[in-house]
Amino acid sequence: MKIGFPRAMFYYDTFPFWAGYFEALGIELKVSPRTNREVLERGLKKASDETCLPIKLLSGHLASLPSDVEAVFLPRMVSIEKKTYMCPKILGLPESVLASVPEGLPVISVDINWREGKAQVQKALEKLGEQLGKSKGEARRAFAKAQKYQQVYEEMRRSGQGFEESMRYFEGLGKPDGKGVSDAGLGSYGGSHLTSSERLPTIALIGHPYLTYESYGNLNLLSKLKAKAKLVFMENVEQVQIEDHLKDLRKPLFWSQGKRLLGAGHSYAINQYVDGVIYLSCFGCGTDSMTQDMLARRARTHHKPYMVLTLDEHSGEAGVITRVEAFLDMIERKRIGLSNKSGYSSSSIGEINR
Ligand code: SF4
């Protein structure tokens, strides 16, 4: 069986999990092509105008799935850890994007709620396995493999391996010549990602993975930054550190993504080897509207240069380049002692059409 998997939203943080699960069940996942103008156009036609860019891109990818798939997989990620929820737009999936699914293509879905504990997730995946004609035992083994793959992926990212490189590793699964993940995979990607001796400035790029690594959607921000700076990401920060950096909040954050963005962002805001923090956000994101401001306050307290880049489908490349260059110039002046300004800035881009 071939199941379509859109290269959007949950692809960017949980694809290895699903690759492990479906591989163990003998089902091939076929991922939609990389985002391009046509994919975005399809998404804009199908999705609601009011929704955020990542959901519009998801709609475009659903409408661009390979024609030989027999079904599409759209999980509902309710919660990825205890005591928090995903944002309401994610909770509303898959129903809110059903109009984008090609006519006649069945949708396979499952509710993943880590808030209720591992036993609950296992139960949900056993039920999903049953729908796919597999036994409980097979589904349980598939769950174990899914967790292992996700663990390997997260370890790869924490140790500094790039997103594309790590994902290629997992996208090879399921193909006849796919090598899969070796048992020795975990922990064998050592290497620290922060040192003091770099000549290039170190910039922390904080944002949702489905924006940070979506190169068409973010106007190739990563490659522009990589040419001029050493980059570190939210995924390089361990969960325990994230929790540690949120200990002083008067009330715990309710949204899983906001929690990760703020905790990781704060760890970089106080890190002496990080020269500046860029928060990558998108118009219409409710959780970002709060966390980007909370992080701005923390960055200001620690005199860390900080910039918010807000994207939507109208954002233009020239606008991004101008803002990034100005930010890096300011950091350079600060580094060589020409300026003692904190470098705090917050505004949106989007004035130049694509
Ligand atoms: S967290 Fe923000 S960007 Fe992500 S789906 Fe929700 S509203 Fe959109």
DSSP string covering 47-95? S-TTS-HHHHHHHHHHTT--TT-SEEE--EEEESSTT-B--HHHHTTTG
Contact (CB, 8 A) for 142 and 129: yes
235 φ, ψ (degrees, to nearest 5): -70, -15
From the list 252, 319, 325, the residue with the least C-alpha distance to 82 is: 252
Instruction: Quote the pLDDT of residue 350.
Output: 37
Whole-angstrom distance, CA of residue 56 vs CA of residue 150 = 26
Residue nearest to atom 2 of ligand 1 (CA): 285
Decide whether any atom of ligand 1 lies within 6 Å of the 311 Cβ. Answer: no
Decide whether any atom of ligand 1 lies within 6 Å of the 286 Cβ. Answer: yes
Contact (CB, 8 A) for 316 and 351: yes
Whole-angstrom distance, CA of residue 13 vs CA of residue 258 = 15
Residue nearest to atom 1 of ligand 1 (CA): 87
Q: How many CA atoms lie within 13 A of 234 on its CB side?
A: 24
Instruction: Quote the pLDDT of residue 82.
Output: 85
Instruction: Quote the pLDDT of residue 64.
Output: 96
Determine the 3-state secondary structure of 151 from DSSP.
helix
- The DSSP secondary-structure symbol of 328 reads H
Name the residue of 48, 56, 87 whose CB sits within 8 Å of the most ligand 1 atoms, as the mutation to test its pocket: 87
Give the pTM.
Answer: 0.87
Decide whether any atom of ligand 1 lies within 6 Å of the 287 Cβ. Answer: yes
In the sheet that holds 71-73, the strands lie side by side as 28-31, 2-5, 71-73, 107-108
Decide whether any atom of ligand 1 lies within 6 Å of the 89 Cβ. Answer: yes
List the structure tokens of 5: 């998997």
Neighbours of 281 (CB within 10 A): 25
List the structure tokens of 353: 């059409």
Decide whether any atom of ligand 1 lies within 6 Å of the 231 Cβ. Answer: no
Along the 354 residues of the chain, how does pLDDT read in single tens digits? 999 999 999 999 999 999 999 999 999 999 999 999 999 999 999 998 889 999 999 999 999 999 999 999 999 999 988 888 999 999 999 999 999 999 999 999 999 999 888 999 999 999 999 999 999 999 999 999 999 999 999 988 888 788 888 898 888 744 333 444 433 333 333 334 455 445 789 999 999 999 999 999 999 999 999 999 999 999 889 889 999 999 989 888 889 999 999 999 999 999 999 999 999 999 989 999 999 999 999 999 999 999 999 998 887 888 889 999 999 999 988 877 765 555 554 444 333 333
| Domains annotated on the chain, with CATH | 2-171 (3.40.50.11890), 202-346 (3.40.50)
Decide whether any atom of ligand 1 lies within 6 Å of the 54 Cβ. Answer: yes
Q: How many H helices and E strands in the chain?
A: 13, 11
